[in-house]
Chains A and B, each alone.
Chain A
Amino acid sequence: MSILSHAFMQYALIAAIITGLSAPAVGTFVVQRRLALLGDGLGHVALTGVALGLLTNVAPLTTALIVAVAGAVLLEVLRSVGRTSGDLALAMLFYGGIAGGVLLTNLAGENAATLNRFLFGSIITMSRTDLAIVVVLGLVVVAATIALRPQLFALCQDEAQARVMGIPVRLYGILIAVLAAVTVTVAMRTVGLLLVSALMVVPVAASQQLTRSFRSTHLAAMGIGLFSAVSGLLVSYQIDTQPGPTIVMIAIAVFVVSSVTNGVLHMRTRQEAPHG
C-alpha cells in the first residue's frame, strides 16, 4: 500500500491500532459502571496536563499522563469516600480541566492552534518516542483488562456483591479509572482529547447491539474500535480530513448499522415466534 511508504503513516497506523483496541477495552468496564462520560472528564483534565507540559517544556504526553492519572484517582476517591456523586465529580473534572488547560496554555504563550492539535488529535506529527509510549501504555491497558476481566466484571456488575466476595473494590475501582486515564493519553494524538471518550463508548454501544454476553461484548467492542480507527485513518488520508473526527464518525456509522441489524433480527424473531 503506497500510503504506508511514509514513516509518519506507519507510526499513525500503529497508533491507530493500539488506540482502537485499548479505548473500547477499558470502555466496556466504564460503560458497565455507568460512567460513560468518564473519558470525557479525564480528557479535559489531560488538557491541563498538556498545557503544563507546554509551560514547563516537558513532553505533553508525559505531563498529560501524570495529570490524567492523578485526576482519575481523585475522581474515584471522591466518588467512593466522599459525598460527591459520580456526575458532580465528573462535572468538576470537566470545568477544572478545560479552564486549567486554556489558562496554562495562555501563560505558556501558546495559541489555540497548539491546543487544537491535542483537542482533535494530530496523529501524523507523532514522534518515535511518542509512539513507543503509546504502544507500551496501550498494550498494558489491553492486557490488564483481559487478565482482570472476571474481577473487574464482578465489580462493575454488582459492587456490594464484589465487596462481600473479597474483591478489592476500592483498588480495582481506582484501577479502572487509571486505565481510562492512560487510555486518554494513548488516544490523545490519534482522536484527540475531546473525542477520546467516543472511542471508549461508541464501539461498546455498537457491540452490545449484537452480543449477549459480557465477554463477547468486550471482544467485539475491541474489534469495532480497531476497525474504526484503522479505516478512519485510511479514509482521512484519502479524503484529506482530520483522522480523529473521521474515526469517530465511522464508529458511529458502525453503531447505526448494528442497531438496525439488531432491530431487524428482533422483528424476525417476533414474527417467527408464533410458529416456533
Chain B
Amino acid sequence: MEYETEAHTFMLGAGLKPMAKLSFNLTGSYTKGTGNISELSFAHLETSDVKLSYNVSALNPNQIYLYDTAYINGISAYSNADFKELDVTLGVAYRLTKQMGIGLNYYYTDYQDDAPYVYRDESNTLQSLVGYLTYSF
C-alpha cells in the first residue's frame, strides 16, 4: 500500500507607497493539495464458512461474495483528498493627519474541495471588508 500526499503553494505580494500618506498592498496565495492511497492488491479468499463465501451475485452482479477481502481494494477509489485554496487580500491605508489614519482591507477566500469524503463537501467562498481608524500619540 502506498500513501502519497503532495502540496504546491504559490504566494505573491506587492506594496506601493506612492506618497507619504498613502499606501496600497496586494497579496495572494494559491495552494493545491492532494492525497491518495494506492497499490492495494487484496485477492479473494475462498473459505468453507457459509457467511464468508456466500454468493450474492444473483442479487448484485457487482458484488459476487457477501464478504471478500478484494473489496478492500476499493479504498483506492474513495481515499482521495484533493483541495484548492485561493486567498487574496487588497488593502489601502491613508494618513489623514500626523496622528490619525484610516484603512480598508478586502479579503477573498475560495476553498474548493474536489474530493469530498468523511466531512462531505467543504467548498466555500468567503469575502469580507475590514475598515479601521487609527489614532497615534
State whether these chains interact. no
Please report B residues at the A interface, Cβ cutoff 8 Å.
Answer: none
